[in-house]
């Protein structure tokens, strides 16, 4: 069924009768239907916004069924209402706090201590709490368990970078880029750190590669513009600034 994945459980569509034309008669589960759902004519190839109402409730439908000697009119009337009008609004899940994440992942790791993603979640939670030491321990464990995932190496680099361990961070960024050389964000983060080390040539190479992969990579243009300015290449810096302004306007 073509229904928004964010709809809350239980599943809002309850089929109860197949029709000769391969459509179904369905109820809708949700607070908007009140005590009893209307009956809707549902086609799996159409969205619920086109499933018209056949009867205002099941009792009325049974009356139609008996009056028509088992062959009631089952073409839904969209003017009377459609199924999607009766769906409950999706409820946004409350965002977990870092402490809640640590509590949840502690239980997960008790059952499966080799769960790399859980160690990553803990690293992020510790980082958000300002505990970079434990964040580093957790992300290092994730890297140990799944060293082929560039994301874990990148996060390790981010934690090291935030802690002022810039050279160690660069090693982790290098690994992330080597594992996924087409990730523009990894390239830009490495370019930014290389720029801090005044390694302008490799930094601009990373920016150029990111722009080659994505001509709208704003961060790459921003870093490259700073490099051009430092090198005194004002014309190129101005050209990048024009592109930056254009991209920022598009984002607005």
pLDDT in tens, 55-93: 999 999 999 999 999 888 888 899 999 988 888 776 666
Both 128 and 219 in one domain: the answer is: yes
Tell me the C-alpha distance between 181 and 184, whole Å. 8
Both 45 and 130 in one domain: the answer is: no
Q: List, in sequence order, the alpha helices (H) in 2-78.
A: 58-67
pTM score over 0.85: no
- What is the distance of C-alpha 3 from the center of its chain? 18
Structural domain boundaries, residue 144: 98-251
Both 113 and 229 in one domain: the answer is: yes
Range of lowest pLDDT (2-16, 40-54, 193-207, 222-236): 2-16
Look up residue 251 and give its two tokens.
């984002």
Q: The dihedral of CA 202, 205, 210, 213: what is its sign?
A: negative
Tell me the C-alpha distance between 150 and 113, whole Å. 21
100's CB contacts (< 8 A; 6+ apart) are none
Tokens 């209402």 locate to 81
Number of domains in the chain: 2
Q: The dihedral of CA 138, 142, 147, 149: what is its sign?
A: negative
Does 36 fall in a domain?
Answer: yes
Look up residue 183 and give its two tokens.
């990730």
Both 135 and 232 in one domain: the answer is: yes
pLDDT tens digits along 89-131: 766 667 889 999 999 999 999 999 999 999 999 999 999 999 9
Both 232 and 118 in one domain: the answer is: yes
pLDDT tens digits along 150-196: 999 999 999 999 999 999 999 999 999 999 999 999 999 999 999 99
Both 79 and 107 in one domain: the answer is: no
Share the mean pLDDT of the chain: 89
Does 190 fall in a domain?
Answer: yes
Range of lowest pLDDT (40-44, 116-120, 140-144, 180-184): 40-44
Residue 4 — very low, low, confident or very high, per pLDDT cuts 50/70/90?
A: very low
- Strand segments, DSSP code E, in 65-224 are 77-82
Q: Give the residue from 63, 86, 109 where a domain finishes.
A: 86
243's CB contacts (< 8 A; 6+ apart) are 221
Does 127 fall in a domain?
Answer: yes
């Amino acid at each position: 069924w073509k229904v928004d994945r964010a709809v809350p459980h239980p599943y809002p569509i309850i089929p109860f009768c197949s029709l000769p034309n391969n459509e179904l008669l369905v109820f809708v589960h949700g607070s908007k239907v009140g005590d009893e759902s209307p009956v809707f004519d549902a086609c799996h190839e159409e969205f619920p916004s086109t499933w018209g109402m056949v009867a205002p409730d099941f009792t009325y439908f049974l009356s139609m069924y008996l009056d028509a000697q088992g062959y009631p009119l089952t073409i839904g009337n969209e003017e009377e209402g459609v199924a999607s009008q009766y769906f409950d609004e999706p409820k946004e899940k409350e965002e977990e706090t870092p402490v809640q994440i640590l509590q949840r992942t502690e239980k997960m790791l008790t059952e499966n201590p080799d769960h790399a993603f859980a160690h990553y979640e803990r690293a992020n939670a510790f980082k958000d709490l300002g505990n970079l030491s434990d964040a580093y321990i957790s992300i290092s464990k994730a890297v140990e368990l799944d060293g082929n995932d560039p994301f874990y190496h990148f996060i390790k680099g981010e934690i090291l970078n935030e802690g002022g361990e810039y050279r160690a961070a660069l090693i982790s960024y290098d690994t992330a880029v080597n594992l996924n050389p087409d990730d523009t964000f990894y390239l830009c983060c490495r370019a930014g750190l290389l720029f801090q080390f005044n390694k302008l040539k490799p930094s601009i190479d990373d920016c150029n590669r990111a722009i080659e992969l994505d001509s709208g990579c704003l961060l790459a243009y921003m870093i490259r513009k700073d490099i051009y300015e430092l090198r005194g290449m004002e014309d190129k810096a101005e050209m990048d600034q024009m592109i930056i302004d254009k991209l920022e306007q598009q984002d607005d």
